[in-house]
Amino acid sequence: MKTAAILVAAGRGSRAGGALPKQWQSLAGEPVIAHALRAFAGMERVLVIHPDDRDLAGALGTDARIVEGGATRDASVRAALEALDGRGIRQVLIHDGARPLVSAEVIAGVLAALKTAPGAAPALPVTDALWTGEGGHVSGTRDRAGLFRAQTPQGFDYAAILAAHRCHPGGAADDVEVARHAGLAVAITAGSEDNLKLTLPGDFARAEAVLKGRRMDLRIGNGFDVHAFCPGDHLWLCGVKIAHGRGLLGHSDADVGMHALTDALYGALAEGDIGQHFPPSDPQWKGAESHIFLRHAMGRVAARGLKLANCDVTLICEAPKIGPHAPAMRAALAAIMGVEMERVSVKATTSERLGFTGREEGIAALASAALVSL
């Protein structure tokens, strides 16, 4: 079933303040209307604008059809509906361009209701007490039972709502009013508190906060590494030099714990592993200190607008004993990564004398890292 979306953005929105109408003002670095348009990606879209906003609409680079609106909201909607005539549209969603935060769930709820009703619209039940006022004082109360706060998109059978607009005398507050005037039943679907209509200057700050919350990026990566023992009198683990009867064999300094942690960071970024960034075939990395790799991974984290939430390294070995060195390891890793020590965990376990670690042939390390958006 072919669905179209009409975004009504022809108003002037003077109560919002600013040099531009509210739908063209910036929200999180983009015009408000750009956020609203994106919510209906994949549908045939019609953007209804004021004639004075042609250049602003052109700067969007959108593939939406641009239609000039009328003097009233219902006149603007009718212009968009007429522009869709003959294009095989079966149902249409009509949305306020000043509602940039409509969610996929709200849209899906309207579309689901249209399977059994000619019209559907999201709303929130009124939960506050209602008063009437006169002269700055409360003059009475009203029962809130059965009252709802209307939202958009309001969805309809296309042919039905086009016919309803063609016969409506004009002046309707929204398209539900037009539909009901024509005798169409309109189902109420679930709205959202985030689906606010930008009306006053303070609404922009609230919308920015909602967008920031939605854009929280959480990424988790895992790393695993193994190094065999070799002749030596010390080894490096998680940035700490530990005296031991053997060393660890590796192309670099063989810090198995730091390698696992570095791979966990690359994994969280979906950027491969140490070997891809620092190929062992390249002689410049022979004997390199592993903090070079870890710092590079953290640089990639910062470049992606992320930060370390926490990391956890588990060293698997029979010897050396890790417990006495764990605080120093945590401090060393925290310093290299530029994070608080409380975000870094280092612990150890044995393999109960099983496998290569149990036979003391080498050390294995597991690491996990969680990254979040700044």
Which CATH number is 141's domain given? 3.90.550.10
Residues 187 and 223 in one domain: no
Question: Which of 196, 214, 232 is at the close of a domain?
Answer: 214
| CA nearest to 153, candidates 122, 186, 109 | 122
Apex 116 CA angle, 114 and 121, nearest 5: 35
Full residue range of the structural domain in which residue 206 is found:
3-129+137-214
Residues 209 and 264 in one domain: no
Question: Which of 214, 243, 261 is at the close of a domain?
Answer: 214
Residues 257 and 269 in one domain: yes
Residues 262 and 234 in one domain: yes
Residues 246 and 208 in one domain: no
Question: What is the value of pTM for the model shown?
Answer: 0.63
Q: Which residue has the tokens 């401090």?
A: 331
Structural element, H or E, at residue 42: none
Residues 228 and 342 in one domain: yes
Residues 204 and 230 in one domain: no
Residues 68 and 210 in one domain: yes
d(CA 155, CA 347): 57
Give residue 175's pLDDT.
98
Neighbouring-strand partners of residue 131: 141
- Strand pairing of 306-316 and 344-349? parallel
Give residue 374's pLDDT.
66
Give residue 215's pLDDT.
67
Tell me the pLDDT of the chain (374 aa) as tens digits: 799 999 999 998 778 888 899 999 999 889 999 999 999 998 999 999 999 999 999 999 999 999 999 999 999 999 999 999 999 999 999 999 999 999 999 999 999 999 999 999 999 999 999 999 999 999 999 999 999 999 999 999 999 999 999 999 999 999 999 999 999 999 999 999 999 999 999 999 999 888 877 767 899 999 999 999 999 999 999 999 999 999 999 988 999 999 999 999 999 999 999 999 999 888 888 888 999 999 999 999 998 888 999 999 999 999 999 999 999 999 999 999 999 999 999 999 999 999 999 999 999 999 999 999 76
Domain total in the chain? 2
- Beta-carbon contacts of 209 under 8 Å, excluding residues fewer than 6 positions away, are none
Give residue 281's pLDDT.
87
Residues 166 and 241 in one domain: no
Give residue 12's pLDDT.
87
d(CA 144, CA 167): 32
Residues 243 and 174 in one domain: no
Question: Which of 166, 187, 214 is at the close of a domain?
Answer: 214
d(CA 296, CA 122): 48
Residues 100 and 226 in one domain: no
Give residue 187's pLDDT.
98
Residues 183 and 284 in one domain: no
3-state secondary structure of 170: coil
8-state DSSP, 51 = G
- Beta-carbon contacts of 32 under 8 Å, excluding residues fewer than 6 positions away, are 22, 23, 24, 25, 26, 97, 98, 100, 198
3-state secondary structure of 340: coil
Here the CATH number for the domain that contains residue 338 is 3.30.1330.50
